[in-house]
C-alpha cells in the first residue's frame, strides 16, 4: 500500500468517526475522544470482526466493556491508536465518544434493561479438532479465523496427556464421542477420508491402552467434563453436544462401535445410563440400530432418520434482564431476535430431555425442541448450540466451507462469538 493511499484511508476513517459522533448528538473531535464505541446494531458494517477488535484490546491488556442490551450488545473500548488501526483494517464501524457522551450513555443504560459488563482479559482458547481436515468444516474455527481470534488446536492425545486448565474455553468440533463415527460406516466405509479417520482413532486408542474407539472417546469425554467441573467454559455445536452427553452417561452401556474393517458392530445388552454423569440431558433413549444414523432421541429434528425428519423453521432468542441475568444476556446479544434454523447431525434438543436448571436461550415457538441451551457443571459452565453451520442450512458432507466474508453480519455466527468473549467477562454476583 502506498503512503498516499494509507493517508487517504486514515482521512476517510477520521471523517467517518466525526460523522458517527455527530449522530450521537454531540460534535467531538476524534482526536479528543476518550472511548471508541463499537455499535452492534444494524449500523455495524462487520459484526463478526468487531469481536476480533475487542479481543485484540483484551490481548493488549486493555480493559473494555460489553454493553448488554445496548445497540445489539455494543463494545466500549479506550480510544487507542492501535485499536483505531485494528478497526480500520477490519472494516469495523466505530463511534468516538468523549467523557460527556459516555456519561450520557451510562445514564441511559441505568434507566433501562441494560448493563455494562467489564471485559478483563483475553481467554485462552482451544478447539478440539482432528489433525487432518475431514470433508466438512467447523463453524467455530471459521468464525475464529475470520474474526482474527487465535486458538490452539487440540486432539485426543492433548486432552488425555496435558493439563487442560491452561485453557479458559474449549470448543468441541462435531465429534462423535460414543466412538461410532456418527454411524457413517454403512455409507462411507470405503471412502478414503473415513478410512483415515478410523485408522487414526484406532491407533490413538491403542496408544492410550484402550480396546477400541468407543473406549477412547469415553475417556476423552470424561476429561472434558472434568475440565468444566474444575471451572472451565465448554462450547459445543452439532453432534458433539449429543454424543458427549451419551458418552458421559453411557459408561455402563455397550454402545455400538465400528470394527477395524469399517463394518458396524452390533451392540450388546443395553445397560443402565447414569445420567448423573451428564451435564445437560437425562432420560434419553439410545438409538442402538447400527443402520440408523440417529444417536438418540435428544435431537428433536432426527435429521438423519428420513421418516422422522422435521422441517426447518425459525428460532427466537430469549430477552433476558441484563442486570439480573448477565450470563444469559451475554450469550444472546444480537442485532436480530429471530433467526432461521439450520440442520446438523444434532439440530435441536428435545425439551423433555433437558435436566432441571438448564437455561433455554433460544427456542422455536410451539415446538417440542429448543435450539440453544446453557448450564453450570461443578465450578464451570457449558453452552450447546444445535446445528452445523448458521449460514448453510442444508450443509452436507463434502460441501465447501462457508465464506464468512460474504456473511459479515451473520446473527447465527454472532452467537458463536458471544461464547468466545463470555469467559473474558468479570462475573458479577447474581441478584436473584
User: For position 385, what pLDDT does the model report?
Assistant: 97
Instruction: Report the mean per-residue pLDDT for the chain.
Output: 85
- 65: β partners: 76, 118
Query: How many other C-beta atoms can be found within 10 angstroms of the C-beta atom of residue 167?
Result: 21
Going by pLDDT thresholds of 50, 70 and 90, the confidence category of residue 174 is confident
Query: Is the pLDDT higher at 185 or at 180?
Result: 180
Q: Which residues contact 153 (CB under 8 A, 6 or more apart)?
A: 126, 127, 129, 131
Going by pLDDT thresholds of 50, 70 and 90, the confidence category of residue 148 is very high
pTM of the model: 0.87
Query: Is the pLDDT higher at 110 or at 398?
Result: 110
Give per-residue burial for 172-184: e unless 16+ CB within 10 Å, then b: bbbbbbbbbbbbb
Residue with cell 446445528: 387
Phi, psi of 315, deg, nearest 5: -135, 150
Domains of the chain in sequence order: 3-119 (no CATH), 125-424 (3.40.50.880)
Query: Is the pLDDT higher at 41 or at 265?
Result: 41
Report the SS3 class of residue 351.
helix
Q: How far apart are the first and last CA of the chain?
A: 54
Q: What is the mean pLDDT of residues 228-255?
A: 87
User: For position 26, what pLDDT does the model report?
Assistant: 31
Instruction: To the nearest 10°, report the CA torsion of 109, 51, 88, 40.
Output: -40
Q: What is the largest distance, in Å, between two alpha-carbon atoms of the chain? A: 74
Rounded CA-CA distance 177/213 in Å is: 9
Percent of the chain with pLDDT over 90: 66
Q: Grid coordinates representing 35?
A: 472511548
Report the SS3 class of residue 333.
coil
Whether the predicted pLDDT of 27 surpasses 80? no
User: For position 9, what pLDDT does the model report?
Assistant: 47
300-351 tens-digit pLDDT? 988 766 655 678 999 999 999 999 999 999 999 999 999 999 988 899 999 9
Whether the predicted pLDDT of 22 surpasses 70? no
212-227 tens-digit pLDDT? 999 999 999 999 999 9
Amino acid at each position: 500500500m502506498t503512503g498516499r493511499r494509507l493517508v487517504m484511508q486514515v482521512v476517510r476513517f477520521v471523517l467517518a468517526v466525526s460523522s458517527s459522533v455527530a449522530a450521537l448528538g454531540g460534535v467531538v473531535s476524534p482526536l479528543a475522544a476518550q472511548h471508541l464505541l463499537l455499535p452492534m446494531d444494524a449500523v455495524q458494517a462487520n459484526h463478526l470482526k468487531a469481536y476480533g477488535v475487542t479481543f485484540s484490546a483484551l490481548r493488549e491488556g486493555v480493559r473494555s466493556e460489553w454493553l448488554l442490551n445496548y445497540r445489539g450488545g455494543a463494545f466500549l473500548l479506550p480510544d487507542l491508536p492501535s485499536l483505531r488501526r485494528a478497526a480500520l483494517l477490519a472494516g469495523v464501524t466505530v463511534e468516538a465518544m468523549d467523557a460527556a457522551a459516555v456519561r450520557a450513555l451510562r445514564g441511559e443504560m441505568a434507566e433501562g434493561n441494560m448493563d455494562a459488563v467489564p471485559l478483563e482479559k483475553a481467554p485462552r482458547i482451544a478447539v478440539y479438532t482432528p489433525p487432518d481436515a475431514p470433508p466438512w468444516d467447523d463453524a467455530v474455527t471459521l468464525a475464529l479465523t475470520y474474526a482474527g481470534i487465535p486458538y490452539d488446536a487440540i486432539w485426543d492425545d492433548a486432552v488425555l496427556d496435558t493439563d487442560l486448565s491452561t485453557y479458559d474455553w474449549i470448543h468441541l468440533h462435531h465429534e462423535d464421542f460414543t466412538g461410532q463415527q456418527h454411524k457413517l460406516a454403512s455409507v462411507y466405509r470405503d471412502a478414503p477420508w473415513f478410512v483415515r479417520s478410523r485408522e487414526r482413532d484406532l491407533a490413538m486408542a491403542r496408544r492410550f491402552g484402550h480396546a477400541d474407539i468407543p473406549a477412547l472417546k469415553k475417556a476423552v469425554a470424561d476429561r472434558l467434563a472434568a475440565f468444566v467441573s474444575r471451572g472451565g467454559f465448554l462450547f459445543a455445536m452439532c453432534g458433539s453436544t449429543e454424543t458427549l452427553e451419551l458418552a458421559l452417561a453411557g459408561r455402563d452401556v455397550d454402545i455400538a462401535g465400528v470394527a477395524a474393517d469399517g463394518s458396524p458392530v452390533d451392540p450388546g445388552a443395553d445397560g443402565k445410563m447414569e445420567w448423573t454423569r451428564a451435564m445437560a440431558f437425562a432420560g434419553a433413549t439410545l438409538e442402538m440400530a447400527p443402520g440408523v444414523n440417529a444417536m438418540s432421541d435428544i435431537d428433536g429434528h432426527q435429521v438423519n432418520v428420513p421418516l422422522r425428519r422435521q422441517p426447518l423453521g425459525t428460532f427466537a432468542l430469549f430477552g433476558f434482564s441484563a442486570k439480573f441475568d448477565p450470563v444469559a444476556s451475554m450469550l444472546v446479544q444480537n442485532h436480530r431476535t429471530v433467526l432461521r434454523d439450520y440442520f446438523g447431525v444434532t439440530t435441536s434438543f428435545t425439551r423433555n430431555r433437558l435436566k432441571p436448571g438448564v437455561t433455554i436461550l433460544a427456542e422455536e415457538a410451539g415446538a417440542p425442541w429448543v435450539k440453544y441451551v446453557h448450564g453450570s457443571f461443578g465450578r464451570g459452565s457449558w453452552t450447546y448450540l444445535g446445528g452445523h453451520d448458521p449460514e448453510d442450512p442444508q450443509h452436507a458432507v463434502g460441501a465447501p466451507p462457508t465464506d464468512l466474508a460474504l456473511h459479515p453480519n451473520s446473527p447465527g455466527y454472532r452467537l458463536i462469538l458471544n461464547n468466545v468473549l463470555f469467559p473474558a467477562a468479570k462475573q458479577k454476583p447474581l441478584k436473584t
